[in-house]
Amino acid sequence: MNINKLVMKLYFLSTLILLSSISVVAQSINWVTMNEALELQKNAPKKIMIDMYTSWCGPCKMLDKNTFTNKDLISFVNTHYYAVKFNAEGNETVNYKEQKFANPNYNPAKAKRRNSSHQFSQYLGIRAYPTIVFLGLEAELIAPIPGYQTAQKLEIYLQLFKDESYKKMNSQEAFNNYYKSFEPSFAQ
């Protein structure tokens, strides 16, 4: 093989690797902190989707690996929501509704295992992980959705809260009918 062909192959291969790595980076949810989402919401209102997780939670890791990597879900969330990844046992300080929430009993030695519950997750009534919390245009609580969700199951709630269909539902039966008739558009 002559040197020119080898150089061309290496150039082609390196370009291909670079383009594929850019593509992977571009295809992820634009996660922000809770405080950032609240600030962004002031100038460009969007609803907020919060992934309440803990460092030790297996289903939380599955959500990251299987659900939050779905290209359709990524595109939908980035377009219609501010996405927040919040460690419900972490030490981030959150300024929400003119209150400051912290985790005064946080123990850095337990960062990778069960730690004390954050005041913000307690305020929102989070009792299981993962829980995906939806907030409205004025950061008001819409609903917490506990448990692992596939992209297609999460799409039900993303659509329901995005277009505010939930406001027209006045019974469990109305939600059940919506749920049964919903046809997901996100790829599996």
Has residue 63 got a pLDDT over 50? yes
To which H or E segment does residue 120 belong? helix 119-123
pLDDT at 88: 97
Q: Which two tokens stand for residue 7?
A: 């150089």
What pLDDT band is residue 10 in, cutting at 50, 70 and 90? very low
pLDDT band at residue 188 using 50, 70 and 90 as cut-offs: confident
Q: How far apart are the first and last CA of the chain?
A: 44
Q: What is the DSSP string of 133-153?
A: EEE-TTS-EEEEEES---HHH
pLDDT class for 4, splitting at 50, 70, 90?
Answer: low
**Amino acid (one-letter) located at 141:** L
Residue whose C-alpha is closest to residue 41's, from 73, 72, 71, 84: 84
SS3 state at 123? helix
HSE value, Cβ hemisphere, 13 Å, CA-based, for 45 = 7
Q: Are 137 and 42 in contact (CB under 8 A)?
A: no
Domains of the chain: 30-181 (3.40.30.10)
pLDDT at 17: 47
pLDDT digits (tens, 9 = 90+) for 65-98: 999 999 999 999 999 999 999 999 999 999 999 9
Distances in whole angstroms, Cα of residue 178 to Cα of each of 101, 171, 173, 175: 35, 11, 9, 5
Q: Please tell me the predicted confidence (pLDDT) of residue 2.
A: 63
The reported pLDDT for the residue numbered 103 is 97
Over residues 102-152, the pLDDT tens digits come to 999 999 999 999 999 999 999 999 999 999 999 999 999 999 999 999 999
Give the integer Cα–Cα distance in Å for 179 and 72.
19
- Indicate the Cα dihedral angle 106, 107, 112, 115, nearest 10°: -50
- pLDDT score for 40: 97
Do 76 and 155 touch, CB atoms closer than 8 A? yes
Residue 94 φ/ψ, nearest 5 degrees: -120, 135
Query: Which tens digits make up the pLDDT trace of 151-183?
Result: 999 999 999 999 888 999 999 999 999 999 999
Closest CA to 121 of 96, 98, 158: 96
CA angle 64, 68, 71 (to 5 degrees): 145
Q: Is the pTM of this model over 0.75?
A: yes
* Residue 8: predicted pLDDT: 47
Q: Say what the pLDDT of residue 183 is.
A: 92
